[in-house]
């Protein structure tokens, strides 16, 4: 069984129950599945390990049987395997050099040709059986690789076809189901789960591999490595073994050498302005930081950039630090800034919401697979001890961040300020493939505690700041005596919100309990006007 992700957005054959989420939190459904959001961009994180790697001996039959079997089993709705595979073949004909794919009239067969070589026609399976369609995909892939032998390495052509077939097929499903090639899958796993290594980000240069980022608190930081240092040797092996011809190693090779069992050492030689330095660095598990915190007068401001395996713990630690700081006193109010947060692990979203909510539902998910139907409840305790909380959102607040937003608002624990959120209300399971790649498969829909579905349309805030930059103008309707009656207006999902105005509005509300109460009442009216998705709650997507 694959692990689940939200963004929606994991990659093990069995569900993993994190320590943050207790079994009694799940009132119905299978054990908690971790979820992740799709992570934009891929930095080369040196020493990233964990999860399956590239496996050149994987056959096309093994690959497609695994991929199509998982899609057929896990996808949110029944899948048309004919369309999935045929559209994959058509896409392969567009992106693979010299390959022409023609679907025969009547749709009973497909003809492939590579360059000027003799074409071959393959009969299409008559039924929906995923295994039969996987076998067809394997036959076409193996034949194409054989015909393209003089164009390049067979493994490279096979991987190109794997990617083309799954990209073309998953494009028919939804915007979030996708295939991640092995190298990208490793990077994505490191972003959400952490990795064992030294904690540097590299770029290739003619002299070696230049460090462009050092993770705070990482082994590399403790050893004194600096941004701008150029790694010239790892484990005693020069990165330019040929001498003068540019790096002989690839980023992949450097990653492999910097990785290894946790707690073991690796010697790293770097060039810097003062000459050469060699340091022995102990490999450790590194989880990239996602939380920053600061005081703004009497207000504690918490920024969460995404949800990875360390987010809930880091957020709790940041709150305790601000709360217990000597000489400042406890913050009288708090701001949770989720603007620009595109999502991450679902279990971390649940754990973050649970930090603030003492009881009641946090999240519901529904889907076709029995394990996708899950309900999560809060456990006793509020880390803020009931202090008022304002959460900020914008058009980039998505997926797991919307889960937190919906839980805090529906429970009455927080007031939301900003713009309508992105509107990604579905969960992906990330299924590992035998070649080291991963499939992100949409397998459930998300409902807030009040039963709201927000996929495609987002969550509208109680206090909309879209298109406005003057905090006084935003708050003026709330200050009016009596407050003028109005109907909820559209609040566009603006991205890249200017930081000052939303935060200024939040701080002003927290400094004036009567004004905050007025805003909360307005938010309750807005929430009451949004009907719950009762049909989905009952289990009918």
Neighbours of 175 (CB within 10 A): 12
Same domain, 324 and 456: yes
Same domain, 414 and 446: yes
Report helix angle 513-528 to 471-479, nearest 10: 80
Same domain, 316 and 274: no
pLDDT at 89: 97
pLDDT at 24: 40
Q: Domain limits at 223?
A: 195-286
- Give domain status of residue 381, yes or no: yes
* Token couple for 122: 């393959």
Closest by alpha carbon to 416, among 358, 350, 461, 372? 461
For residue 427, the domain's CATH number is 3.90.226.10
- Give domain status of residue 202, yes or no: yes
For residue 234, the domain's CATH number is 2.30.42.10
Same domain, 507 and 378: yes
- Give domain status of residue 534, yes or no: no
- Give the mean pLDDT per block of 10 residues along the chain (541 residues): 35 28 37 31 28 64 98 96 97 93 94 95 96 98 88 74 96 95 87 84 83 89 94 87 54 81 93 92 89 94 95 95 84 96 94 97 96 96 97 96 97 96 95 95 96 93 92 91 68 86 96 92 71 43 36
pLDDT at 531: 56
- Torsion angle of C-alpha atoms 108, 113, 117, 120, degrees rounded to 10: -20
Report helix angle 130-147 to 60-74, nearest 10: 150
Question: Could you say which of 258, 286, 314 is where a domain stops?
Answer: 286
pLDDT at 482: 73
Q: Residue 487 gets which letter from DSSP?
A: P
pLDDT at 530: 65
Contact 28, 366 (CB under 8 A): no
Specify which residues 275 forms β-bridges with: 272
Question: Could you say which of 286, 306, 331 is where a domain stops?
Answer: 286
pLDDT at 18: 30
Closest by alpha carbon to 268, among 241, 236, 299? 236
Same domain, 363 and 382: yes
Provide the pairing of β-strand 333-337 with 299-304.
parallel
Contact 407, 353 (CB under 8 A): yes
Specify which residues 248 forms β-bridges with: none
pLDDT at 507: 96
- Give domain status of residue 251, yes or no: yes
- Give domain status of residue 181, yes or no: no
CA–CA dist 220, 280 (Å, integer): 10
pTM score? 0.80
Provide the pairing of β-strand 237-238 with 374-377.
unpaired
Q: How many domains does the chain have?
A: 3
């Amino acid at each position: 069984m694959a692990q689940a992700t939200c963004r929606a957005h994991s990659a093990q054959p069995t569900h993993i129950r994190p320590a943050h989420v207790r079994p009694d939190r799940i009132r119905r459904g299978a054990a908690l599945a971790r979820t992740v959001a799709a992570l934009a961009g891929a930095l080369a994180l040196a020493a990233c390990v964990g999860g399956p790697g590239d496996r050149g001996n994987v056959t096309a039959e093994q690959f497609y049987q695994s991929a199509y079997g998982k899609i057929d089993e896990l996808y949110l709705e029944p899948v048309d395997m004919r369309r999935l595979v045929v559209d994959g073949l058509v896409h392969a004909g567009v992106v693979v050099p010299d390959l022409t794919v023609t679907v025969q009239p009547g749709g009973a067969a497909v003809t492939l040709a590579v360059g000027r070589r003799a074409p071959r026609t393959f009969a299409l399976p008559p039924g929906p059986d995923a295994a039969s369609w996987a076998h067809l995909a394997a036959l076409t892939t193996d034949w194409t690789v054989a015909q393209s032998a003089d164009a390049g390495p067979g493994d490279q052509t096979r991987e190109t076809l794997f990617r083309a077939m799954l990209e073309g097929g998953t494009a028919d499903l939804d915007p979030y189901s996708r295939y991640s090639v092995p190298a990208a899958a490793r990077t994505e796993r490191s972003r959400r789960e952490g990795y064992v290594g030294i904690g540097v980000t590299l770029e290739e240069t003619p002299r070696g591999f230049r460090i462009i980022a050092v993770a705070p608190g990482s082994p590399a930081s403790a050893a004194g490595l600096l941004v701008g240092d150029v790694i010239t040797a790892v484990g005693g092996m020069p990165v330019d073994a040929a001498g003068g011809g540019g790096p002989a190693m690839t980023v992949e090779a450097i990653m492999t050498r910097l990785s290894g069992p946790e707690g073991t050492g690796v010697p790293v030689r770097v060039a810097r302005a003062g000459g050469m330095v060699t340091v022995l660095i102990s490999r450790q598990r590194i989880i990239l930081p996602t939380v920053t915190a600061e005081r703004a007068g009497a207000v504690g401001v918490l920024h969460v950039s995404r949800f990875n395996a360390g987010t809930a713990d880091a957020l709790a630690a940041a709150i305790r630090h601000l709360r217990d700081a000597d000489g400042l006193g406890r913050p009288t109010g708090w701001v949770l800034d989720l603007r620009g947060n595109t999502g991450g692990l679902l279990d971390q979203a649940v754990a973050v919401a649970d930090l603030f909510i003492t009881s009641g539902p946090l999240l519901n998910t529904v889907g076709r697979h029995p394990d996708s139907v899950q309900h999560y409840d809060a456990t006793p305790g509020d880390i803020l001890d009931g202090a008022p909380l304002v959460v900020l959102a914008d058009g980039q607040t998505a997926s797991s961040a919307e889960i937190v937003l919906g839980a805090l608002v529906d429970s009455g624990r927080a007031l939301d300020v900003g713009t309508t959120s992105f509107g990604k209300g579905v969960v992906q399971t990330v299924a590992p493939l035998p070649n080291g790649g991963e499939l992100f498969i949409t397998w459930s829909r998300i409902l807030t505690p009040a039963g709201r579905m927000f996929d495609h349309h987002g969550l509208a805030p109680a206090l909309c700041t879209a298109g406005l930059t003057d905090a006084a103008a935003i708050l003026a309707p709330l200050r009016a005596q009596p407050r003028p009656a109005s109907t909820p207006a559209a609040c566009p999902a603006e991205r890249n919100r200017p930081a000052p105005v939303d935060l200024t509005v939040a701080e002003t509300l927290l400094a004036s309990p009567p004004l905050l109460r007025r805003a909360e009442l307005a938010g309750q009216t807005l929430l009451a006007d949004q009907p719950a998705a009762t049909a989905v709650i009952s289990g009918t997507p």
